[in-house]
Structures are given as C-alpha cells and as structure tokens.
Chain A
Amino acid sequence: MTQRIDCDVAIVGGGIVGASAALALRRMGRSVVLLERDLCGSRSSGVNFGGVRRQGRPISQLPLAQRSHRIWGELARTIGTEGEYVRSGHFKIARSEADLAALEQYRAQSRDFDLGLEMISGARLRERSSWLGAKALGGSLCPEDGQANPRLVSPAFARAAEREGARVLERARVDEAAHDGQRFVLRSVAPGLEVRAPVLLNCAGAWAGPLAAQFGDEVPLRSGHPAMAVTEPLPVFMDWSLGVEGGGIYCRQVARGNVVMGGGAGFALDDERARVERGSIDGICLQAIELLPALRHAHIIRTWSGTEGYLPDRQPVLGVSPRRPGLIHGFGFAGAGFQIGPAAGEVLAELACHGRSSTPIEAFAVDRFEREAEAVAANAPNPSPRPQPISVAR
C-alpha cells in the first residue's frame, strides 16, 4: 500500500544542507518532506573532519560563510545541542616564505569580510603555541573559526527540522523521480511512498548528479574520498584547529583529547562506502608528527573515509535549475560543506519561497560548466583534459 504525501517542498538528501533547508522552510511556514536514503547525517555531513572554517575559502564563498558563521553562533538555540562546537580559532600554517606571502595575500583579498585574520610567526608563534613543530614558520589565525562534532551536529539539524514539523523519512531511497506537469513526484519503493510537491530540493551530495541530469541539468560531478585518522585520547595540548597553506594535512584536538587528522585520499569500496588509502595513513602520520611533536608516541585507533561530491572548480552547485522550474540544487560542496551547509540550507529555503537568495550565489550556478564549455568551444575546439584524481584538502 503506497502512502501518498503532498507538501510544498520535497527534499532529497538528509545531510546538513538538506536538513537545514528543511528547518528553514518550516520556520517560513512551508510543509516539508525530506527523503533520506539511509540515516540523516550518516554520510559526508556526519563523517567529515569537523572543521568550521571560513579562512581559506574562495572569496566568492565568503558571503555564504559569513551567513553560516552567524547560524553557528546560535547553534544550541537552533538545533538544541552545542554539538561540541567551539570557536577555538583556525590557524593556517605556513611552512615557507612563499606560504606566508600567500596567506598575506589572502588576508588582503578577504579584508571586506571581517574575518579578523591575524598573521603570527617567529618568536611570537613559539611563545603562543610551543606545541607546534619547527616546520611551522608562521601562519594566519582566524580567531572565530573553530570546530564541531559532525556526528552530532548534522543529525541534530534533521531532528530539529522534525521537531519544527518537517516530515523526515529515513531509509527512504528515491527510486523514481518525475514531473507530472504541475508537481514533482518522488517514489520510494521499500517504504511504499509517493511524495508530491511543486518544489524539489536536490541535496543528495555526491549522489546528486543523476537527479539533476534527469531534469536536464548535466553537471560534471565526481566523487572524492578524504582520508581521516584519529588518535587515542591525549592530554589536551593544542587549542587551534590547524590547516596548512597549500593543503596536505589538517588536524584538531577534541575536548575528549583525541587528535583528529586528515590528509590525502581514500578509495571507494562501492558506490556508498569508502576507506582510507594505505599511503594516506603514512602521509598523515609523517606530517602530523612534524607539525605536532607531541604525537610522536601516540597511537592511531581508527581511520575512516567518506564520499564527497566534487565539481571541477571545487565550488558547490547552489541555485535554481534553468530548465525545470521548481527544481533547486544544493550539492557538490567539495569536502568543505560542513561550515557553509546551514547557510546553504537557508538560501535553498529562500529560493523555494521567494525565488531569490539574499546572499550572492552567482558563482555556484548549475549551468556554469555548460556556459564555460560553450565559450571554450567557440574559442578553441580542444578536447577537454582528462580528469585528474581528486586530492582532498581542507
């Protein structure tokens, strides 16, 4: 017996983007059904590094990141838990003079956004953070950037949406999506569901490509897999969340004392699951010990990976479909969606209700690759370069 549900907005995908969109839509008075294939926040949103960072993002993402920064500031009120969110500061390490120059340049480019970036190096850095290894010449501190526990935060957005009246249906894979001329019709066979709505939000992360393509929006979305590892609990010695200019490694120490580290890539076991590449474990260990000598005798107790959606320019797709009115996309956050996810959700809700976003999102248009391809085709009819393996950086 198929259950039919009509609603204002249907959402596919219960990650942090879809769930925060559901929450925002409820607060705007819309009826919402969210369909999640597995459990909300069980994929990239829930297994990512947990950095809540604006520093280092492309300038075009900063309006969205600033909007999200305000949401994070009221997290407990919004979703009912702190989710271990702390504004610990995010320090981006320079290992060379060139790195320092690049960080200086970023600070100049981002000065309109009030990130409060502060360059720290030499003796001042040693005095401030004696736990940093000698390889760290200096770096850039964003004092109000921080970290949170994605395992707690992302599912909590879905629970908050549910409390506000959204219908959150877990273990409900969308087997069939269509448009009957007036509404989208989504079918999920296993629970026996048919959801109908005039507006559809595609928040299916790394798996969003087929749904977009079905309505004519072809995007070159590919999957990437981060490599993550965590140590046993250690006495707390570091406060900042760390990144490295130019990528390579990132780490943070959680309140429990474990140091969470990432760097390098994992590999897909199948369409849904991934595991850490063996070589990445070496890379993480080598670099982490270099940056944090306190880890020299620590043990790794677990490694893990996930599946993230990447577009060639490492920018997300966020905006309305140019082909199918009512279809709105929010996916492909390139392993950096945790911090901006909540704002992306609000933007999706605005687009669903008012047709426009109060935050600039032009850089994230779904058809930017087609337009690019047309421009390229008009100028130089070369074959597109072979896709390179995705390296994951935070």
Chain B
Amino acid sequence: MNDMTGKALPPVIVGAGPAGVRAAQTLVAHGLRPVVIDEAARAGGQVYRRQPPQFGRSSRTLYGFEAGRADALHQAFDALRGQVEHQSDSLVWNVQDHWLDVLDGPTQRTRRVPFAGLIVATGATDRVLPVPGWTLPGVYTLGGAQVALKFQGCAIGQRVVFMGTGPLLYLVAYQYAKAGAQVAAVLDTARFADQCAALPAMAAQPAVLLKGLYYVAWLRAHGVALHGGVRPLRVLGTERVEGVAWHDGRAERTLEADAVGFGYALRSETQLADLLGCRFAYAPLHRAHLPERDAAGRSSVAGVYLAGDGAGILGADAAEWAGERAALALLADRGVQIDAARTQVLERKLARVAGFRAGLERAFPFPQDWAAHAPDELVVCRCENVTAGNLRQTVREAGADELNRLKALCRVGMGRCQGRMCGVAAAEVLAHATGQPLQQVGRLRGQAPIKPIPMELAAAQEGLPS
C-alpha cells in the first residue's frame, strides 16, 4: 500500500515494550524505518518502564534481577534514534481502512497514521478479581503498585499486604521490601503444593524458576509472612484501607495494613486486534478469548502481526523473541531476505516458553472458585457500580447467558474502562451463574475508542486523508 505521495509506507509498531522494541530493532536492521507508537513518554513498556529523566535511581534498584535485560532493551531502543519515528505519549484509539487514529498527549491533538504492515504489541494489564472493599482508597493492582515504585518512586503505603496469585505477587512484594516498605504479608490463593507440583514443567526456564524461588526465600528470610492457599475475604476499612481479612482453609484471619496490592497474573490488551478484525479463539491456558496468531505472529488479517503479551501472556523474555519473530515475518512477507535459521531459533524458544507457561499456570492456578464465593454485594464493575448480585439477578430474571447481552441489560463494562478491568470478573460470574464453561459466555465486542478520548480532540485533527 502506498500513501498519497506514492512512497511505500513504513511499517507501524504499536507498543514500545519488549516486543515492540525488538520488532523495531529487527526492522531497522533490515533497512526499514518503522513508526513506533507508544503511550508512554519513554520506551520500555510496563515491565521495563523507565523513570522520568530527572530521577536518578539505578536500574539495579528499579529492576532487580531484570536490570540487565532492562538496560539492554533501553539501550537497543536508544541506539535506534534517528532510524525509527518514535511517536511517544501517543494513544492509538481507533483504526479504519489502514489508518490509525492517534491521540497525541503533548499537543493534545489527534492525528491519523497510515500503515501497510502493522505489528500489534499492546501488552497487558492486571487480571483483576475483585474482593469486597477493593474500591477503598489504598487498594491497587500489583501492576499499579509496581508502577508507583518504578516510575513515581513512591510506595502505595507504609504497611502493605500483597494478595492474589502469580509470579508478580512475589516480585512486587520483594521490590517493596527492598525499597524499604513494610510488607505485612503475602497472601497467595495458590497452595505451596501447587508450586511444588509445577516444578518439572517450570524447569524449562531454570533462570526464571530460580529467580522466583529467590524472591520467596528472600521474603521468608526477612521475616515477611507468606500464606498459601488463602481465600481473600475482604479489604477492611471505612474511609480507606485498614487491613485485610482472609480464610486460610481453617479459619478467618485478619491483619492490619494501610495499603493492598492485588492481582491474579495478567490479561492481554486485545482491543486494537479486535478493531483490526483479527479472528479470536478461546485459549484455555489463558482463560481468555485471544486473537489467533501463527508461530511467526501472523494474525488472521494480512499485514497485521501480533507480538508479546497483547496476544497471550507469555512474559517479557518471550515478548522480545516474539517481537523479533513478528518483524521477520513482516519482512519476509514484503519479500525481504531474512535469516531462516534465526526464525527457527526464535520459534523454538517461544515453544519452550509455552511449556513453561503451562507450568506457571499449575504453580499459580487461577482461583476457579472465585465466582462461587463472590458475595452478592461485591462490586464487580466499579465504573457503573454493578454488583455480583446485579449480574446474577440479570441472569435469573432476563435469561442473559452471553456477555454482551449481560452488558446491555445491566451496564457491566459500560463505563470508562469499557470492560478492560471488570470484563474478566463479569465473565466468571456469568459462567458460574449460568452453569456454562467460560468460553461459552463469549467476549465483549470491541468498539472505538480503545480508551476514552476528549470530544474536543476528536473534533480537531491533523493529517486528514483527502
């Protein structure tokens, strides 16, 4: 595809995390000058998010064991200066007919960016399963707690409880403790027996496994209480967080705290792939409907490639490989000569990660009984204040058995987040209430804008195609 001047269009990469950066690097190495569009001011993504320029903490402080990888990624992108068009602070909010609509933060204008080849590396957000009291001030997602520390250089509280499950749980607890916050406890819905049972599969990635074991050992050695097999009951407090209550299998227990970080691993940001028309399929491992991709990262739409956590959670290392692999696929599809051996190496690495990911799922299993235990008064959708009881009532009285119908009838997912935060929990409650397997309840249809946009900006734009 050509633009109006007849020049071939550069490939566009959405997202400058591990996948996006490696994709850009690969394209540049083959003589292309990609456009990289990212919401953050500086490249790195969520996992290797960079602090503001005037902050001077070391990468060892910020990223711990990952400092080497973080530095390498940042340096790789910095070395591309002048060879990529980096559109930072820029939100892709819509796509139609090979034009992306991009909201530019600094100028507060919206512009249109044409593309022929597009690499979607949109990353992930926390997977949230609400607990009563989660809307109190002082409750953050694990990712949010980590951003506060990495980017803003502050902790979410003095005495913090981390709960949920997933590898991020221990990492964030470790990072907080290292930074000087008091970690009151780590409450894991997974049992330690789960983690032991998963060891063989996880040995596929010994370094990752060792790091995880190290965090646990470090926390334990520093007197942080680690509880496995818990069921979070509620966040305590009236005006803000005062503590947490959980069930440990025998009895209810409570602990004082002034902040809570919680989450259940991650969920993919798939809205752009949806608007692009990519075909989705249910992925049992991820407990989610995800855009389909082949081993190289090709989506079902010609010229659209998927890389990184945005198309299934495989972690930062895999995202780097997938970004490179997707870029090679794009190049090959454009008729550029690429290194076939390299593609095989990357695909082998990615296949191994998938095995490791299955092990992680056993180590930190999704709490399948969450919906059964969610009380009626639990707020599931905080934008629209829709409770689990509202959802069940809608199922009972209106016969809703599909997610979009549920949304239409009771407003769940109809607020500012458009289901990005509450969609997982709503689907779980719906599946449980109707007695259907999760994949049967469907997924929320994507609609523009991907995130809210100011009306004034949609009305004032640059670069309109004639």
Q: Do the beta carbons of B452 and A303 come within 8 Å of each other? A: no
Is B398 an interface residue when CB atoms closer than 8 A count as contact? yes
Chain B residues 91-123 with CB under 8 Å of chain A are 94, 96-97, 99, 101
Is A31 an interface residue when CB atoms closer than 8 A count as contact? no
Is B59 an interface residue when CB atoms closer than 8 A count as contact? no
Q: Do the beta carbons of B418 and A231 come within 8 Å of each other? A: no
* Contacts A39-B405, A155-B409; A275 near B447 (Cβ below 8 A): yes
Q: Do the beta carbons of A288 and B452 come within 8 Å of each other? A: no
Q: How far is the CA of A289 from the CA of B416 in the complex (A)?
A: 20
Q: A295 touches which one: B384, B408, B453, B455 (CB < 8 A)? A: B455
Is A151 an interface residue when CB atoms closer than 8 A count as contact? yes
* Contacts A269-B277, A301-B415, A303-B447; A232 near B454 (Cβ below 8 A): no
- Which of A105-113, A201-209, A279-287, A382-390 lies at the binding interface? A279-287
A152-169 vs B: 1/0 string, CB under 8 Å? 100100010000000000
Q: Do the beta carbons of B458 and A300 come within 8 Å of each other? A: yes
Kindly name the residue among A39, A269, A298, A299 whose own CB sees the greatest number of chain B CB atoms within 10 A: A299
User: Nearest-CB distance from B73 to chain A (Å)?
Assistant: 33
Q: Do the beta carbons of B409 and A299 come within 8 Å of each other? A: no
Q: B461 touches which one: A233, A276, A282, A301 (CB < 8 A)? A: A282
* Contacts A152-B409, A269-B277; A285 near B456 (Cβ below 8 A): yes
* Contacts A275-B447, A301-B415, A303-B447; A285 near B452 (Cβ below 8 A): no
Q: How far is the CA of A134 from the CA of B459 in the complex (A)?
A: 18
Chain B residues 410-452 with CB under 8 Å of chain A are 411, 414-416, 418, 447-449, 452
Q: Do the beta carbons of A301 and B402 come within 8 Å of each other? A: no
Q: Do the beta carbons of B398 and A285 come within 8 Å of each other? A: no
Q: How far is the CA of A285 from the CA of B448 in the complex (A)?
A: 14
User: Nearest-CB distance from B22 to chain A (Å)?
Assistant: 31
Q: How far is the CA of A35 from the CA of B459 in the complex (A)?
A: 43
Select from chain B the residue with minimum beta-carbon distance to A301: B452
Q: Do the beta carbons of A300 and B452 come within 8 Å of each other? A: yes
Chain A residues 185-239 with CB under 8 Å of chain B are 231-233
Give the total number of A-B pairs whose CB atoms are below 8 A apart. Answer: 82
Select from chain A the residue with minimum beta-carbon distance to B404: A42
* Contacts A300-B458, A301-B418; A276 near B453 (Cβ below 8 A): no
- The contact size tier of chain B is 20 to 34
Chain B residues 52-101 with CB under 8 Å of chain A are 94, 96-97, 99, 101
- The contact size tier of chain A is 20 to 34
Q: How far is the CA of A278 from the CA of B275 in the complex (A)?
A: 12
* Contacts A46-B408, A159-B398; A298 near B101 (Cβ below 8 A): no
* Contacts A39-B405, A232-B416; A303 near B459 (Cβ below 8 A): no
Chain B residues 390-408 with CB under 8 Å of chain A are 398-399, 402, 405, 408
User: Nearest-CB distance from B275 to chain A (Å)?
Assistant: 8
User: Nearest-CB distance from B270 to chain A (Å)?
Assistant: 16
Is A296 an interface residue when CB atoms closer than 8 A count as contact? yes
Q: Do the beta carbons of A232 and B452 come within 8 Å of each other? A: yes
User: Nearest-CB distance from B386 to chain A (Å)?
Assistant: 12
Q: For A42, list chain B residues within 8 Å (CB).
A: 405, 408
User: Nearest-CB distance from B455 to chain A (Å)?
Assistant: 4
Select from chain B the residue with minimum beta-carbon distance to A296: B456
Q: Do the beta carbons of B418 and A285 come within 8 Å of each other? A: no
Q: Do the beta carbons of B402 and A299 come within 8 Å of each other? A: no
User: Nearest-CB distance from B308 to chain A (Å)?
Assistant: 26
A301-312 vs B: 1/0 string, CB under 8 Å? 111100000000
Is A77 an interface residue when CB atoms closer than 8 A count as contact? no
Q: For A285, list chain B residues within 8 Å (CB).
A: 455-456, 458-459
Q: How far is the CA of A276 from the CA of B459 in the complex (A)?
A: 15
Is A297 an interface residue when CB atoms closer than 8 A count as contact? yes
Select from chain A the residue with minimum beta-carbon distance to B99: A278
Q: How far is the CA of A289 from the CA of B458 in the complex (A)?
A: 11
Q: How far is the CA of A207 from the CA of B399 in the complex (A)?
A: 25
Q: Do the beta carbons of B455 and A300 come within 8 Å of each other? A: yes
Q: Do the beta carbons of A289 and B459 come within 8 Å of each other? A: yes
Q: Do the beta carbons of B96 and A300 come within 8 Å of each other? A: no
Q: Do the beta carbons of A299 and B453 come within 8 Å of each other? A: yes
Kindly name the residue among B402, B415, B459 whose own CB sees the greatest number of chain A CB atoms within 10 A: B459
The 9 closest A-B pairs by CB, nearest first: A299-B452, A285-B459, A151-B408, A285-B458, A285-B455, A286-B459, A278-B96, A301-B452, A303-B448
Residues of B near any A CB (own CB < 8 A): 94, 96-97, 99, 101, 277, 384, 398-399, 402, 405, 408-409, 411, 414-416, 418, 447-449, 452-456, 458-459, 461
> What are 19 A-B interface contacts by the 8 Å CB criterion?
A39-B402, A42-B408, A159-B398, A159-B399, A231-B455, A232-B416, A232-B452, A269-B277, A277-B96, A278-B97, A281-B448, A285-B456, A289-B459, A296-B455, A298-B455, A300-B452, A300-B453, A303-B448, A303-B449
